[in-house]
Amino acid sequence: VNNPNFNQNDPIGRVFILPSSFEGSDQAMKQHYYDGLEIAGQFGKADYFLTFTSNPHWSELKRTLANGQGYLSRPDMCSRLYNLKFKELFKDIMELHKIGVVIAYVFVKEFQKHELAQIQTRAAQADANQDQADAEQENDDYDVQLNRPNNANDEVGFEDELAANVVMDNGQDGANDNNDNGDNNNDNGDGVNLNNVPDDDINRLNNHVVYDEIRTYEKKRYVSSIEACDKFLGHSRLGMSHKIESMVIHLEDRQNVVFNQRNVTGVVNREQRTMLTDFFDLNVRDPNANQFLYKDIITMYKFDTNTKRWSLRTSAASRDRVIGRMAFIHLRRKELYHLKLLLLHVRGPTSYAFLRTVNGLEHSTFEAAAIALQLVENNHQWADMMREVCRVEMPSHIRFVYASLLYHNNLIRPSALYLCLEFRDQMSEDYQNEPLADTKYMKALGHIRSILVTFGCNLVDYNLPEPDERGDDWWHR
C-alpha cells in the first residue's frame, strides 16, 4: 500500500480497487490520459485550442423556466441544451470544416463547481495553410473562444502537448473529481454516513489495514444535479477520433490469470492464450502478418477477446481508426522493458525464443538479445526511454526518472550530460514562467540535485553542472 501513513508492521487486510471500467475512477482517468497522449504522439501537437462554455442565460433555457426559477431548477434542460449546442459545434468542426480538415480529436466532459459546462478544444488540421479567418466566423448559437499560435515559432504550452489534433474538453468531470462537499450528509446504499468515513485511504478494521478506493471515491466525489441528469440521459463524456487498443505485454508464462479460488487446479491446466502469445501464433499461420510490428498489428487485424484469436479486419475504414498503445514499463523491470524494446523493433516474431535469437544465436535474456541487436548500444536506449517518459509524464516526474536513471544504470559519464542537454526543456517546463530564460534550467538542476542527494550522490559524480543559488529555490514554481 503506497501511503506514507502506513505502518509496515500492520497486517494488510482486504484491498478494494476501482477498475478502469468504472468511469471516474483513478484507473479510468489514467487510461484516458494515456490514450489521449497516444493520439498526440501519433499526430503531433494541437493546432487549435477552443473553449466552449455553457451559458445560464441562453434564451432557449430561460423559456423553460417558471417565474422565480433559476437554471438549477431544470438540470435536465441544462444538460439537453448544452449537448445539443455541442453537437452543432462538433458538426461545424468535423463536417463543415470550419477550422480545416480535422484528422484526429479528443474531447472530455467535465463538471465544474458552478455545475455548468465548458469545452476546451484543441485542434490540428490537415491543411495548415487554410485561412484562419474562415475558422473564426461568429456564431450566435454558442459561445466559442478560438486561439491559435501566431506563427510556427510560437511556444506551445504543456496542455497543447497533451492534445491530439482536436481535443475537446467539454468542461465538466475530470479536473474537479476531488471536490469535497462538506454539507453532504447523505448515506450510501449501505446506510453508512459518508461524513463519518476517514479521508485517509487507509482504514483500520479488526486490526487489519484495508485499502478501499470505493469508500474514498464515495467520500470525495461530488455529483451535481446537472451531471446526474447528463448520466441518466446517456450523453457521452469522453470521445476520441481513434480507438486506442492496449497491447498486452508479459514475460513467458507470466500472463495475468483470473480465477475462482475454488477452481485453481482447472485454471492451471487450462491454456492461457493472450494477445501477445496469439500474435506469435498469427505470424506462424499467416505470413502476411510478418510485416507488422506488434504495436502496428492492430491496424490490420483485430483481437477477439472471447476466442483469444487475431483475425483479419474486413472493413478498410476501421483500419484507419485504431491505434495500438503499449504500456509504459519502468527500466527497473529489465527483462520486461527489453522485451518491449524488441517488440518495437522485431517484425514477425513467432515465439519468445525467436525474440531472443540474433544471427542464429539464442541468448538467455531479452536484455542480451537487445544488446546484440545494438538496440542499447552507446546508451541510446536511455534517450529512447526519456522520450517516452516525456510524452506521458509531468516535468517533476521526468526529473525524478532522469535522476533514477543516473543512479541505477551506470551511464557513461558524457551521456549523462548529453541527456540533460537534450531533455532540459521538457524537464524544466513547469518553470517556464520564470523571467530569466536560464532560471528554469537552474531550478530543474536544483531539483535533480536534491533527488540525487537522497541517493547518496551528487551532480558532479555524473559530470553535470552545479546550479547557482537559484537552484536552491527549485520547489517554488
Cell 540533460 sits on residue: 420
- The residue with cell 542464429 is 360
Q: Which residue has the cell 532560471?
A: 439
Task: Using the structure block, give the residue that is written with the C-alpha cell 550522490.
Answer: 457
pLDDT at position 276, please? 94
Task: Count how many residues are written for the chain.
Answer: 477
Strands (E), 347-476: 357-358, 361-362
Tens digits of residue pLDDT in 190-199: 333 334 434 4
Residue found under cell 522520450:
387
CA distance 40 to 164: 4
| CA–CA dist 398, 226 (Å, integer) | 38
Q: In whole angstroms, give the CA distance from residue 287 to residue 314.
A: 17
Rounded (10°) angle between helices 26-43 and 380-392: 120
Q: How far apart are CA 229 and CA 235, in angstroms?
A: 9
Question: What's the rounded Cα separation, in Å, for the pair 196 and 357?
Answer: 59
Q: What's the pLDDT score for residue 280?
A: 95
Confidence (pLDDT) at 114 = 67
Apex CA 373: angle with CA 403 and CA 44, to 5°? 60
Positions of the chain with pLDDT lower than 50, given as ranges: 1-6, 128-207
C-beta of residue 278 within 8 angstroms of C-beta of residue 350? no
Q: Name the 3-class secondary structure at 161.
A: helix
Half-sphere exposure in the Cβ direction for 296 (13 Å, CA): 11
Closest CA to 241 of 118, 121, 112: 121
- C-alpha 255/C-alpha 314 separation (Å) is 29
